[in-house]
Amino acid sequence: MSSAAMKADERKVLKKVFWRSLTLECSFNYEKMQALGFAYSMIPVINQFYKSEEERAAALTRHMALFNTTPHVSPFIMGIAASMEKQNAETGDVDPASINAIKVGLMGPMAGIGDSFFWGTFRVIAAGIAVQLAQQGSVMAPLVFLLLFNIPHFLVRYFGTFWGYSLGTKLLENVYESGMMTRISKMATMVGLMVVGAMTVSMINFSTPFVVNFGGAEVGLQGILDQILPGALPLGLTLFCYKQLQKGRKVNALLIGILIFGILGKYLGIL
């Protein structure tokens, strides 16, 4: 399905998603990260395709799950999610859990691509050129910087929305008939869990400068941990939080607890 074959109402909804996607990080926070921004962007889709209050509420709740990716490439994922929501609204044969599974499966790789392109490439090139101009005192510097960065940014953002949607629709059309969807969402869960496992190591910043004294010989605790199980501390903390959540502990209690632990830990020299 090419984007030209999209119906007028679909195009209109996707344009709204594109505009709303700009505000993805307006409500960024430590509990859900970009979840509310994602849900905010999906509101036009949900209102367009679902007719009953219950279905709308279920869809809104679904998109309040933690989400985090490079903002500039997020509309691509929104487009895919929109196509799945439409399919679900029309046929009802989409496993709603698979929509989140695909979102989570995609946010890692899209962040990988997005970070390296937008943070690592476009921004650095644009800043490099602009800083040179600024050092010569040219008032063009900020303008050149913004243009060099934002031309690729808005091309990717705008076409990403539509491309994600048609890709999602096309995949779903082929995939649904053959009952492949359960398999794909199972696969997405596998990939998603692996990405969360990897992010546990790379995105939680938890190490200790604590030194153990073995009868005069000083050994860094972190060094011992790294030899046995690198990333043991982030893993332990995540599993601890997971257990607490399962016990029904409130998320805010966890957040405040970690905050106090951070300040005390730094004070006592174990962080």
Q: If binding is defined by CB under 8 A, does position 28 make contact with another protein? A: yes
In the complex with another protein, the residue whose CB is nearer, 204 or 221, is 204
Q: If binding is defined by CB under 8 A, does position 46 make contact with another protein? A: yes
In the complex with another protein, the residue whose CB is nearer, 113 or 215, is 113
Q: Which of 124, 155, 211, 212 binds another protein (CB under 8 A)?
A: 124
Q: If binding is defined by CB under 8 A, does position 102 make contact with another protein? A: no
Q: Which of 14, 86, 98, 145 binds another protein (CB under 8 A)?
A: 145
Q: Which of residues 194-213 bind another protein (CB under 8 A)?
A: 194-206
Q: Which of residues 56-95 bind another protein (CB under 8 A)?
A: 56-57, 60-61, 63-66, 68, 71-72
User: Under rule CB under 8 A, how many of the chain's residues touch another protein?
Assistant: 123
Q: Which of 190, 211, 212, 219 binds another protein (CB under 8 A)?
A: 190
Q: If binding is defined by CB under 8 A, does position 220 make contact with another protein? A: no
Q: If binding is defined by CB under 8 A, does position 138 make contact with another protein? A: yes
In the complex with another protein, the residue whose CB is nearer, 46 or 82, is 46
Q: 3-state SS string over the chain?
A: CCHHHCCHHHHHHHHHHHHHHCCCCCCCECCCECHHHHHHHHHHHHHHHCCCHHHHHHHHHHCCCCECCCHHHHHHHHHHHHHHHHHHHHHCCCCHHHHHHHHHHHHHHHHHHHHHHHHHHHHHHHHHHHHHHHHCCCCCHHHHHHHHHHHHHHHHHHHHHHHHHHHHHHHHHHHHHCCCHHHHHHHHHHHHHHHHHHHHHHHCCCCCCCEEEECCEEEEHHHHHHHHCCCHHHHHHHHHHHHHHHCCCCHHHHHHHHHHHHHHHHHHCCC
In the complex with another protein, the residue whose CB is nearer, 114 or 168, is 114
